[in-house]
Amino acid sequence: MICYHESLTQPEIIAVNDYWLLSSETYSGFQYKVQEITPFHRGQKIRGISTLAGCCSFVSSDPFFSCPSCKRKKPVRGRQEYSRRIKTQKSEPCSECVEEQRQQAVNTAQEMLDAFKAEHLKPKEYVEMLSMEESLALLSVASGRSDDNFFLGESPENLSITGCEALNQTFLVSFLTNGVITLVSELPPKVEQENRIVFGQYDRVTYAHQSQNVRTYKHPDSVTPGFYLNAPIIDGEVYTSGIDSLIYQNLLASSVSPEEATKLHHIITEIQLDKMYRMTREISKEYGLIIDNSNKLRALLLHLAKHYAPQQVYFTFNVKARDTIVYMHKERPPSYIENQLFAKFVGDYIQLIENKGWELKKTWSLPPSIQTSSFEALFSQIYLDGHFDWNRLSAKQVVALWLENVQLSANAQELLT
């Protein structure tokens, strides 16, 4: 049976009939070759036979011209497709049945993914249990996600909360232990297959512009290995959205105890100290200096972190690195003290300015490897009116500004007084 487009004229219909005329005596199975049909109709105003064939469809009574699911006929639009059907003698599902089967597979896979999430990502009562520093850390790492996406990152490197690896590990261990977050270390093959059914090949490699760490694109509803935020339970109710607001409001409503003030002071100092260490490594790499990671160096860097801004210190580091190199070329000191010279030059200079009551006024922009962490940015936004760059402040200055804008408990006020 042939179905014709209504735009075909009578001569064109006859030409289409010749195109589809079958013959058991020819090799191709058709009575005429395509190039023979047009000359048969010379003098008649008809379009090219290929164009006409595309305007029509043909269906045979053979069973493999029917959908195996719904049994509806599946016409073809050209001889090539017809020949393939005849040769394979295999029925193919129609597009409607293919789409229905695909949707059924997607729905089944989605149900299994939801079951996997429900099994591994369990709601917990943790918001009221969070300390002030934990609330800040959790809000720092969770604020970048959307409300319906509980995925936080593939690895600890993707959760650079404070910029200080030691602090990050402390927070992660606490969150994992108390059920705040869950680590999905690996996926069963079945779950990976379900991801592909629902989302296709959803992973592709991208690059972070600043750190150049290789990261993978993740569909927000897919399941991949990594860290996930558990939904909080408050007064028996599970919250699946607005979690950031809950943590933020809980943070603002709480007053700071002496213990929390001490811990925040320590965290701020550690963040600034970590910057000092990274600045030292940058100086060592840039100037080719060997700098011994000694207790004396740590004491110096800790003093600098407490009392001086990183940008001020980095200027001093660059100047003293040059002085160290000049001294080494002129004096040729023994090799066993070369790795101590940079710390000595910096320490002597700091001691000099403090004895004379001078200040470090000149600054040097920090290298790209030292970025403002999400913890610093959030802390500044909440407590420092969002106008302060920690790279321009010492740890003591950050703490002082924080205490001016925070609600202290009675014990903390007495202690500070």
Residues 58 and 127 reside in one and the same domain? no
C-alpha torsion sign, points 122, 127, 129, 130? positive
Residues 284 and 400 reside in one and the same domain? yes
Range of the domain at 205: 104-236
Interval 348-376 mean pLDDT: 94
Total domain count for the chain?
Answer: 3
pLDDT category at 414 given cuts 50, 70, 90 is: low
Exposure on the CB side of residue 88, measured as CA atoms within 13 A:
10
Q: What is the per-residue pLDDT for 412?
A: 66
What global pTM score does this model have? 0.74
Q: Looking at the domain assignment, is residue 95 inside a domain?
A: no
Q: Looking at the domain assignment, is residue 250 inside a domain?
A: no
Q: Looking at the domain assignment, is residue 57 inside a domain?
A: yes
Residues 264 and 371 reside in one and the same domain? yes
Q: Of 201, 236, 271, which residue sits at a domain end? A: 236
Cα–Cα distance for residue pair 267/171, rounded to 1 Å? 11
Residues 160 and 281 reside in one and the same domain? no
Q: Of 26, 57, 88, which residue sits at a domain end? A: 88
Residues 108 and 83 reside in one and the same domain? no
In 3-state terms, what secondary structure has residue 345? helix
Q: What is the per-residue pLDDT for 201?
A: 64
More confident call, 327 vs 62? 327
Residues 78 and 108 reside in one and the same domain? no
Residues 165 and 300 reside in one and the same domain? no
| 297-352: pLDDT as tens digits | 999 999 999 999 999 999 999 999 999 999 999 989 888 889 999 999 999 999 99
Q: Looking at the domain assignment, is residue 249 inside a domain?
A: no
Residues 283 and 379 reside in one and the same domain? yes
Residues 225 and 268 reside in one and the same domain? no
| 204-214: pLDDT as tens digits | 444 444 444 44
Residues 41 and 75 reside in one and the same domain? yes
Q: Looking at the domain assignment, is residue 252 inside a domain?
A: no
Residues 123 and 224 reside in one and the same domain? yes
Question: DSSP letters of 137-161?
Answer: HHHHHHTTS-TT--EEESSGGG--S
Greatest alpha-carbon span in the chain: 112
Q: What is the per-residue pLDDT for 210?
A: 46
Q: Looking at the domain assignment, is residue 380 inside a domain?
A: yes
Q: What is the per-residue pLDDT for 57?
A: 81
Residues 325 and 381 reside in one and the same domain? yes
Kind plus residue range of the DSSP H or E element containing 182: strand 181-184
More confident call, 200 vs 110? 110
DSSP lists the bridge partners of residue 233 as: 238
Q: Looking at the domain assignment, is residue 204 inside a domain?
A: yes
| 145-174: pLDDT as tens digits | 766 778 888 888 888 799 899 999 999 999
| 248-296: pLDDT as tens digits | 888 888 888 888 889 999 999 999 999 999 999 999 999 999 999 999 9
Kind plus residue range of the DSSP H or E element containing 129: none
Q: Looking at the domain assignment, is residue 186 inside a domain?
A: yes
